[in-house]
Structure 1
Amino acid sequence: MSERQSSMQVRDLMIRSVISVRPETSLREAISILVDNRFAALPVVDGDGLVVGVLSESNALAVGPDQQDASVGSTMSTPAEVISPGSDVSTAAVRMLNGRLRSLPVVEQGLLIGIVARRDLLRVLINDDVTIAAKIRSLLDDYAGSRRQWTIASNEGKIEICGGFSSKDEQRIVAALARTVPGVRHVDVLPTAVAPAVGI
């Protein structure tokens, strides 16, 4: 990977809105989720949000048609292959290649906070807007933590950051941080809800 990608972290690229299933979910329901959303795998979490396994396409294909009423827990791979949000993107790429994995759940203190897929890594190789958005995400995570639900869109250096902000001051701080990233030409901050205050 180039210097640009190797300096990036998993938190910069991960998808934060993750669909997961529970061990007691029926295999039939889980397969429907995989097919309908074109997922390669589903994280399996317990009642506390801790990742306890992964249900992959391979797991599902290994089960016969007469076993689809079985639970996900009886079919999933354990222990789950996971990665932390602070891991380098290059580390994620090596683990995916060596383990022949198409995605990795991202966990913080055992809790599922996102997922990163091979296609997310590939997008960085071809899209400068993705790189800009990822660098902004990294700055915002350093400022407010990786669990804040802000969405960042970049189009030829024009940035939109949407989500919940604790105050007008926080909106100004977020916009100022975004403007420090090379390639950013304009920043719009669009509040969609009120979020609890976050200390700097």
Structure 2
Amino acid sequence: MRARDVMSRPVISVDTRGTVRDAVTALTEHGFATVPVVDEDGRVIGIFSESDGLRADPHGRTPVTSAMTTPVEVVAPDTDVASIAERMLAGHLRALPVVEEGLLIGMVARRDLLRVLVREDDVITGGVRGLLDQYAGTRRQWSVEVHEGAVTISGDFADDAEKSLVAALARTVAGVTTVGLTASPARTGGED
């Protein structure tokens, strides 16, 4: 997996005409830990972090260029995520700008890398279970298995209409490739 696969975009940045106040506003309004500072050509020339904001005076018209961190580390879109994680850990970095031909095209934050650790099948399973729980309420009656995007839902279905509804709900989850339904074997009477 590469930077292009996990990076966040569009990128919120501050240009060199911005102030510390502008950068702090960008951080707080968007919930970022860092924001890149770009020149008039869109090239990354620095990074402004929460730490930079705490050290600077956000009330005045202090230029962001006087408070940003330089030089800034960047990665290319084809940089392997393992390499990005190593660089972040070694440099105590919260995020890295992704640059192609000198221009800012995305950001890779720690949370982007953490998402990679959660397998996509697990995310799909959670999404399908959540929808089925909303539909069925407290009577959770189906089990969900996912393998490479293929969803199998097993359990008791009231009728064909419910089967169709359950399959349709599952298909709305991003990453689902196919949906299969397996009805539980008919129960025999006599047991309580």
1:21-73 CA-to-partner distances (Å, cap 9, x unmatched) read: 1122011121011011110101111111111111111111111456x420101
1:69-97 CA-to-partner distances (Å, cap 9, x unmatched) read: 20101111111111111111001000100
1:131-185 CA-to-partner distances (Å, cap 9, x unmatched) read: 99xxxxxxxxxxxxxxxxxxxxxxx838xxxxxxxxxxxxxxxxxxxxxxxx861
Structure 1 residue 83 corresponds to structure 2 residue 75:
yes
Rg larger in structure:
2
Aligned-residue identity in percent: 53
**RMSD of aligned Cα (Å):** 2.3
Please identify runs of 4+ aligned residues in structure 1 that moved more than 2 A: 129-132
Aligned counterparts of 2:17 and 2:65: Cα–Cα separation in 1: 6
Q: Secondary structure at the match of 1:55?
A: strand
Structure-to-structure mapping, 1:66-105, within 5 angstroms: 68-105=60-97
* Pairing partner for 1:112 from 80, 104, 113: 104
- Aligned positions, number: 131
Residues 13 and 116 in structure 1, CA contact (< 8 A), matched pair in contact too: yes
Structure 1 residue 157 corresponds to structure 2 residue 149:
yes
- Residue 123 of structure 1 aligns with an amino acid whose one-letter code is R
Q: 1:18 to 1:129 in 2, by over 3 A?
A: farther
Structure-to-structure mapping, 1:184-199, within 5 angstroms: 185=177
Structure 1 residue 51 corresponds to structure 2 residue 34:
no
Residues 36 and 46 in structure 2, CA contact (< 8 A), matched pair in contact too: yes
Structure 2: runs of 5 or more not aligned: 125-147, 151-174, 179-192
* Pairing partner for 2:34 from 31, 41, 46: 41
Residues 59 and 75 in structure 1, CA contact (< 8 A), matched pair in contact too: yes
Aligned counterparts of 1:90 and 1:10: Cα–Cα separation in 2: 10
Aligned counterparts of 2:27 and 2:84: Cα–Cα separation in 1: 22
Shift of 1:127: 3.3
Residues 16 and 40 in structure 2, CA contact (< 8 A), matched pair in contact too: no
TM-score in terms of structure 1 length: 0.60
Q: 1:62 to 1:85 in 2, by over 3 A?
A: same
Aligned counterparts of 2:118 and 2:79: Cα–Cα separation in 1: 21
Q: 1:11 to 1:157 in 2, by over 3 A?
A: same
- Residue 11 of structure 2 aligns with an amino acid whose one-letter code is V
Structure 1: runs of 5 or more not aligned: 1-7, 133-155, 159-182, 187-200
